[in-house]
Structure 1
Amino acid sequence: MKTELASQGFASMGSEARLAVLRCLVRAGSTGLSVGDLQERTGIAPSTLAHHLKFLTDADVILQEKQGRSVVNRANYDRLRALAAFILSECCVDETLLTDEQTGL
């Protein structure tokens, strides 16, 4: 994953409200939640919620699907896993290098 895409994904979660919305969707699982259900669970005003959903959708961390007159929102688990892998991809590399240098390996 390119740094620019990772940055966009992490930035989308950079507000308390958007993070709350995303966590609700992660908890909901693959069935997702309607906008009304999200509003009820988060207490975020409808117009503000629409703004946050757009931000999360633009960053591809959530997916939206129209079902009749309702819009179902789901966490994009593939994207979230990729973001987690990106941030952890170099976990402890420097620590390992320091240990190898210290032991002469």
Structure 2
Amino acid sequence: MEAAQAVRALGAIANESRLAVFRLLVSIGPDGLPAGTLAEMLDIAPSALSFHLKDLTHSGLLVQRPDGRRIIYSASFSTMNALLAYLTENCCQGQDCGVGTGMSCSKTA
């Protein structure tokens, strides 16, 4: 992942509503949800949700697919994983520090 892509993705989730949308869709998995269901579950006005979905999709964190008359949104796990890898690639100067296992990034003897 390039730095500009990381900045765009981090900027997209640097909002409480967009972060809530992304986290919900990550928990739902690859099947995703239609916009109307997202709006109901998160109690976000449809017009505001549309703005947030556009920003998250533009950043690459969400993908959309048609389903009849609805649009289904789901998290882009490949983009999420690329962002996590970008953020942790130089962690602990390349030493194994347990990132991803719930352990803190600190060296122990």
Same fold (TM over 0.5): yes
Considering only CA atoms, is the larger Rg found in Structure 1 or Structure 2? 1
> What do the CA deviations read for 1:53-78 (whole angstroms, capped 9, x no partner)?
00000001000111110110000000
Q: How many residues align?
A: 96
Deviation of the 1:95 alpha carbon:
8.4
Give me the CA root mean square deviation.
Answer: 1.5
Percent identity, aligned pairs only? 36
Where in structure 2 are the equivalents of 1:15-94 lying within 5 Å? Answer: 15-93=15-93
Q: CA deviation at 1:33?
A: 0.4
TM-score, length of structure 2 as denominator length: 0.84
CA distance in 2, matches of 1:94, 1:82: 17
Q: What is the TM-score with the length of structure 1 in the denominator?
A: 0.87
Q: Distance in 1 between matches of 2:72 and 2:47?
A: 16
**Mind listing any 5+ residue stretches in structure 1 that lack a counterpart?**
97-105
Gaps in structure 2 of 5+ consecutive residues = 97-109
Query: If each structure's helix is expressed as a fraction of its own residues, which one has the higher value?
Result: 1
Runs of 4+ aligned residues of structure 1 deviating over 4 Å after TM superposition are none
